[in-house]
Structure 1
Amino acid sequence: MSTVEDDRSSQSSSVSNSSASTKSLDTQTTDTCKKKDEIQIIVRPVDATPILVRDLIPMRVWVASIVGMTERAAYYSSIVMIQNYVQNDVTDALRPGILGLGQAKATQIQFAFVGVMSVTPVAGACIADSRLGRHKTMLVTFPFFIIGLLVLCILSFNTDTARSGGVGALLMCLLLLAIGSGGIKANVNAFIGDQYVPSTVEAFREHNGTDYEPDHALTLQHIYSVYYWLINIGSLAGIGTTLLEAQIGFGFAFLVPLILITLGFILFVAYSRSFVKRGPAKGNLTHAFAYASHNVKQSWSKRVTKKSNQLSTPSNYDAQFSRDMKTTWKLCRIFATFTFAWLCWDQGGNNFISQAGQMHTSGIPNDMFYFLNPILVIVLLPIFEKWIYPFLRSRGAKLDPITRMLIGHVVLTASMVYAAVLQHIIYSKGPCYEYPRFCEEVSRSREPNAVSAFMQVPLYLLQSVAEIFSQIAAIEYAFGGAPENMKSIMQAIMSSFGSVGSLLGVAMAPASKDPWMVYVYSSLAGGMAVTAACFWLFFVRCRSVDMISEASSNVEVVVVQDLKEV
């Protein structure tokens, strides 16, 4: 951005003269300015609203984002191999593994890991917000992740040792991964937000005379959009590890996430002195749990009435703490809607892969279609940031987090409708119709139905657009809307609702088979439509929390100076 224009307006004779001149500003179009030490005091009508722009973002924000990306890349690229590691035997020529315990045991271990991962982020957030702070908590939990991957890597290079250690050794490694990943995941989103300190400059002017104003909400949206973009780049590491697993072996495959997480830890330690470190709020969580317990007891002591459903304030808590708790409760209700949303997104890791296997893939492995999601996010996110969002704002669209979450829920509903329609098309085509790849004719029993798997591209496109709208807005809202001393726990609660959605998939698993898949996708579409409708009904008014308040007078005084990085 350019500096303040050199040609300043002439000085006003005195501040009182400037104040007196405001009475005639309704008919004036020229600003009256006072120049002093590169600062202008501009008195202008409210109609002359400055254009909102992103603030300057310090380098520490992007360093923290890269650290978060390495953790997510290490997590995704390692977990994707666990199924084959447990299910298949080392002697399996087509899909080699290590333990050879079968699909049921492998799936059981995977879901157990998901269950643990729904708890560890909450524990990590509690430690950060009440004891250590976000920076120290991440510093302590990083080594758990590294040690877990290191042991897995060593075991995978020596298959005899891995088999003798069996499930016990694997579970120990997964527990270390869960502790490390949970501690980092719960805090990294809020830690990234901590690194951005808003500029003290209220407005600045370009050479062409246009006034601009750095906007905190717009800057946070950009930061988390870039971070989400980096996460999706990191998730592509799973392609490399699956290829290494198949072509060379698990040892070299686990070496990739080990290197990634180690590099992230080194970067985190090396840049520690430059990071903004927020201290913990000791005793805050204890008070929060006591406050919640008070309201639960109160609600049970009374019969259900309209009044009893409202949070009340115990006498030993101040008004600010009460407001913080009510804000936290509101955020929890908003993020609860993501439980069903995550159930829909999780279809990409299982049922959508099976759906691709029922169609002609043109020689591409059916599980590779899953990576259409991160690839599309990587391509689309810059387009949204550069063109789509600015275009919508120029047309007066209010793209606050609540609105974007609502749009994301609607688009996600459309994706599940498309999945149901596509499944109906698959069932309507031969040779196997409603039982793809399992015909009665033995000669054609493994042949997919006559549909191209590339028809899944619109499905993944809709899911990716829904992610761009919903998930980034949720991360942004969890940081910006949460009380200062509960930002980590809010991020962890948001993640936990996602884990609950993943566990709901276990209940649906028995129905996820042919010829019922049209009904499965239709049920998900209907459930997501109800979720979107409830979200609009109950939370659309929350947008007012994030909107910029209107000026109460016809005149505003704005400080204009060069924009400097904090």
Structure 2
Amino acid sequence: MPSETEEKDTTTVVPDMVEGTEPIKETDDKDLATVVPDAVEDREPVTETDETDARPDNPDTVDDKEPATETDEKDMTTVLLEETGNKDPITVSAEEKETTTVIQDPVEDGNLAIVSTEEKDVVPDTAEGKEPVNETAEDAAEPIRNPDEPTAEEFVTLPRVPGTLSFVTLTIAIVETCERISFCGQIAVFQNFIQQSLPEGSPTGAGGHKGVSGALGLGQKVATSISTVDAFLIYAMPLLGGYLADTHWGRYKTITLAIFMYLLGNAILIVASSPPLLAMPKGALALLITAIVVQAMGTGSIKACTGTFMAEQTIKDRPKIKIKSGKRVIIDNELTVARSYQYFYMILNIGAVVGESIMVYAEKYVGFYLAFIIPLLFFCICPFIMLWGRKRYVRVKPTGSVHVKAWKTTRMAIRGQWSWNPVKAYRNLTNPAIWDSVKPSTIPLGARPKWMDFDDNWVDELRRGLKACTAFCFFPILWLGINQMLHNLTSQAATMNTHGIPNDFYSNINPVVLIITIPILDKVIYPQLRRWKINYSPLRRIFCGFLLATLALMWCAIIQWRIYVLSPCGYHANQCPTSQHAPISALWQAGPFALIALAEILAVTTGMEYCFKKAPPNMRSLAYSLCLLMTAMASVIGEAFIPLSDDPLLIYNYAVISGLLCVCTIAFGFMFYKQDKEERRAFKEGRTMIVLAEREVLGADKDQEK
């Protein structure tokens, strides 16, 4: 009987390729054990003790033909070798799940070699006279590659195209469209509702063909201030909605409840604009502010979830190869997500056009109460859409309160890194080593906080998501420029020749350009760039968006200068009667509105896409809320520009914002040049940012809320 030669080693058995041997049987269901066929007559089992470099040509022969047994303290493996005449099966048992190495090699000296080794190399049967081929156990266990999944070489050689968007996916955009109908229409109407006085003989506030509609008569500064507060609340509330969606309710339930909250706020707004309340301006103002707060809670939660919820419907599998127009192409998930956000933004801007057009004309010719009834009617569709999609949507299960852990981990990482020197602070906060210091593996178990119940990978995901959010630090200034459409440009149009069109109608140029341009980019320009091997990466698109916004605000400053020069009232054009406008066509505003539209396509939609790709799956709503929070911060900064939002300082208002955008454009280019270079290299190699996270979350939780 051979004795045990080494403890805690797996046992490698080399069977002899002899005709007539019995099949191998295995008694353990889960453990990978080595099975040694019956020994041939006159051949002796041998055991080799070398750990890693064992070879079948150095066996220790045994005189008798007793079965060889090896005993380990932790795992007992018994190998019974019997002569060929005995047809009993050979049994191998093990307590621990360890992989044994099987080396099958032609035996020329008539002996059967038993090799013990810790390595996981497997040498398959080889033909006589050929060298054995080694492969790792991981390779041996690897499944056959799906021919529809592209290889690394195909990622480089084959063209990539986005996947199609299903009708189920687009229904989520319809919900956001209804919200846009209300938001954009109300913002356009709010300026006149608050700024202008109630026209004589019009209890509803309608201005008629030649007049300007109004109600409260509080002036441009107050109107701009209230509109700014409204925008701040709408874009700050997504933090609450994102938290509830990620940790407690899930995105589907959060959107559904937010719809009913929004309907309540809209109903209050209708009461505030009714003729009896307009006769009491203070009561109408109180109800207006109440409606703004309630609506902000509803629309904020909707905004926090709809974009992310829609993108989650598009990611269900790894990139695949398909035949399109007779050519093999890769259906790329990143491009599909980019397409979903582009069309998401296009569809909601259709709502903006509808809202601003219908509500503005309802305000001008009927009254404010009808203007606020219209979005209520559209919003009544949303509950039925959510009910229809209840069993059709992919719904990711909320993961509990990860946001508190994220905050504590981030605070621990940046502790002691702050400096009043901005250069030093930037270097400290962007040093990857600060995140290594808060990984659980680097903290002794006794010193580890109780809330730190995650692994190192979770810290890496958090770092990746926060790194993506740094790109949004410049977005408040971008939104400060975009928000000029909501109030100051509306007031500017009132001092120009509007050709009988309501002054708040011209802002529709912006969404119209968006609706026309997005399909052109998706179907013509972006595919052509991909054919030319030009990677128009997300960070490059954001950079171009900032540049276009800078040009738009410069254009606004020039228009305002011409108004002051040509207006009968000079640098007090807003004080002129409506009939004494400056002899300048309001169509000149088409330039700034179009440039801002292009800036939104390149910067805003790409920012939403970038946020979704980079954020961990269990923090997507919160990360998207941080993106929207930049708009709220823009509203806060906009409050500082209120003193410039009146004559004769409006030129400085547009010029200063344009200068800030120029500085941000240059700074953004310098800060994210290296990161953009790394991401373009990763995209070229097929290393996407979202696939693995999606495969872990989506699908498995699709039916968790039934």
TM bracket, shorter-chain basis: 0.7 to 0.9
Instruction: Please point out which of 484, 502, 524 is paired with 1:387.
Output: 524
Read off the aligned partner of 1:265 and give its amino acid letter: P
1:180 CA drift (Å): 0.8
Name the structure 2 match of 1:475: 608
1:474 CA drift (Å): 0.8
In the TM superposition, what are the counterparts of 1:159-308 in structure 2 within 5 Å? 159-160=276-277, 163=280, 165-200=283-318, 202-206=320-324, 208=326, 210-236=327-353, 237-299=355-417, 306-307=427-428
SS in structure 1 at match of 2:417 = helix
In the TM superposition, what are the counterparts of 1:295-334 in structure 2 within 5 Å? 295-299=413-417, 306-307=427-428, 310=431, 311-312=434-435, 313-314=437-438, 315=443, 316=452, 318-334=455-471
After alignment, is 353-362 or 59-68 more displaced?
353-362
The answer (yes or no) to whether the contact 1:331–1:478 under 8 Å persists in 2 is yes
Is 2:262 aligned against 1:128? no
Is 2:498 aligned against 1:361? yes
Q: Distance in 2 between matches of 1:352 and 1:227?
A: 26
SS in structure 1 at match of 2:362 = helix
Read off the aligned partner of 2:477 and give its amino acid letter: F
CA 288–378 in structure 1, closer or farther in 2 if over 3 Å, else same: same
**Number of equivalent positions:** 513
Instruction: Give the aligned CA root-mean-square deviation in angstroms.
Output: 3.3
Name the structure 2 match of 1:528: 661
Residue deviations 1:109-152, cap 9 Å, x none? 43333333243110111111111111111122211111221233
CA 333–106 in structure 1, closer or farther in 2 if over 3 Å, else same: same
Is 2:569 aligned against 1:402? no
CA 43–152 in structure 1, closer or farther in 2 if over 3 Å, else same: closer
SS in structure 1 at match of 2:379 = helix
The answer (yes or no) to whether the contact 1:55–1:199 under 8 Å persists in 2 is no
Is 2:663 aligned against 1:545? no
Q: Distance in 2 between matches of 1:358 and 1:158?
A: 28
Q: Distance in 2 between matches of 1:84 and 1:424?
A: 23
The answer (yes or no) to whether the contact 2:469–2:611 under 8 Å persists in 1 is no
Gapped runs of 5+ residues in structure 1? 1-15, 17-35, 553-565
Name the structure 1 match of 2:161: 53
Q: Distance in 2 between matches of 1:44 and 1:97?
A: 63
Residue deviations 1:418-473, cap 9 Å, x none? 2233334444546555454768xxxx996333433322222222111111111110
Read off the aligned partner of 2:665 and give its amino acid letter: A
1:503 CA drift (Å): 2.4
Name the structure 1 match of 2:643: 510
1:83 CA drift (Å): 4.1
CA 551–110 in structure 1, closer or farther in 2 if over 3 Å, else same: closer
SS in structure 1 at match of 2:247 = helix
Instruction: Name which structure has the greater RCO, CA cutoff 8 Å, separation 6+.
Output: 1
CA 456–90 in structure 1, closer or farther in 2 if over 3 Å, else same: closer
The answer (yes or no) to whether the contact 2:182–2:375 under 8 Å persists in 1 is yes
Q: Distance in 2 between matches of 1:177 and 1:132?
A: 20
Q: Distance in 1 between matches of 2:603 and 2:246?
A: 26
1:376 CA drift (Å): 1.4
The answer (yes or no) to whether the contact 1:118–1:499 under 8 Å persists in 2 is yes
Name the structure 2 match of 1:25: none
Q: Distance in 1 between matches of 2:568 and 2:595?
A: 29
Which one has the bigger helix percentage?
1
Residue deviations 1:208-248, cap 9 Å, x none? 4x211101111111111111111111012122112212322
Name the structure 1 match of 2:625: 492
Residue deviations 1:43-68, cap 9 Å, x none? 99769811211223332211111122
Name the structure 2 match of 1:352: 489
After alignment, is 217-226 or 115-124 more displaced?
115-124
The answer (yes or no) to whether the contact 1:57–1:196 under 8 Å persists in 2 is yes
Read off the aligned partner of 1:50 and give its amino acid letter: L
The answer (yes or no) to whether the contact 2:468–2:615 under 8 Å persists in 1 is yes
Read off the aligned partner of 2:522 and give its amino acid letter: E
Identity %: 26
1:410 CA drift (Å): 1.1
Read off the aligned partner of 1:281 and give its amino acid letter: T
Residue deviations 1:159-200, cap 9 Å, x none? 259948544433332222111111111111111111113445
The answer (yes or no) to whether the contact 1:86–1:105 under 8 Å persists in 2 is yes
Q: Distance in 2 between matches of 1:173 and 1:180?
A: 11
CA 45–367 in structure 1, closer or farther in 2 if over 3 Å, else same: closer
Instruction: Please point out which of 568, 575, 581 is paired with 1:448.
Output: 581
Read off the aligned partner of 2:662 and give its amino acid letter: A
Is 2:253 aligned against 1:113? no
Q: Distance in 2 between matches of 1:253 and 1:321?
A: 48
CA 201–103 in structure 1, closer or farther in 2 if over 3 Å, else same: closer
Q: Distance in 1 between matches of 2:325 and 2:218?
A: 69
Give the TM-score taking structure 2 as reference length.
Answer: 0.66
SS in structure 1 at match of 2:624 = helix
CA 112–468 in structure 1, closer or farther in 2 if over 3 Å, else same: closer
Instruction: Please point out which of 510, 513, 523 is paired with 1:376.
Output: 513
Q: Distance in 1 between matches of 2:266 and 2:535?
A: 45
Read off the aligned partner of 1:274 and give its amino acid letter: R
The answer (yes or no) to whether the contact 2:184–2:352 under 8 Å persists in 1 is yes
Name the structure 2 match of 1:66: 174
CA 153–539 in structure 1, closer or farther in 2 if over 3 Å, else same: same
Instruction: Please point out which of 548, 551, 554 is paired with 1:417.
Output: 554
Q: Which has the larger radius of gyration?
A: 2
Q: Distance in 2 between matches of 1:403 and 1:178?
A: 33
Gapped runs of 5+ residues in structure 2? 1-125, 127-143, 444-451, 688-701
SS in structure 1 at match of 2:165 = coil
1:532 CA drift (Å): 0.7
SS in structure 2 at match of 1:283 = coil
Residue deviations 1:326-349, cap 9 Å, x none? 223222221111110011111122
CA 159–301 in structure 1, closer or farther in 2 if over 3 Å, else same: same
SS in structure 2 at match of 1:374 = helix
CA 45–395 in structure 1, closer or farther in 2 if over 3 Å, else same: closer
CA 419–103 in structure 1, closer or farther in 2 if over 3 Å, else same: closer
CA 135–362 in structure 1, closer or farther in 2 if over 3 Å, else same: same
1:361 CA drift (Å): 2.9
CA 162–511 in structure 1, closer or farther in 2 if over 3 Å, else same: closer
Read off the aligned partner of 1:488 and give its amino acid letter: S
The answer (yes or no) to whether the contact 1:50–1:211 under 8 Å persists in 2 is yes
Read off the aligned partner of 1:175 and give its amino acid letter: V
After alignment, is 475-484 or 444-453 more displaced?
444-453
Q: Distance in 2 between matches of 1:437 and 1:101?
A: 14
1:302 CA drift (Å): 12
Q: Distance in 2 between matches of 1:226 and 1:388?
A: 15
After alignment, is 419-428 or 483-492 more displaced?
419-428
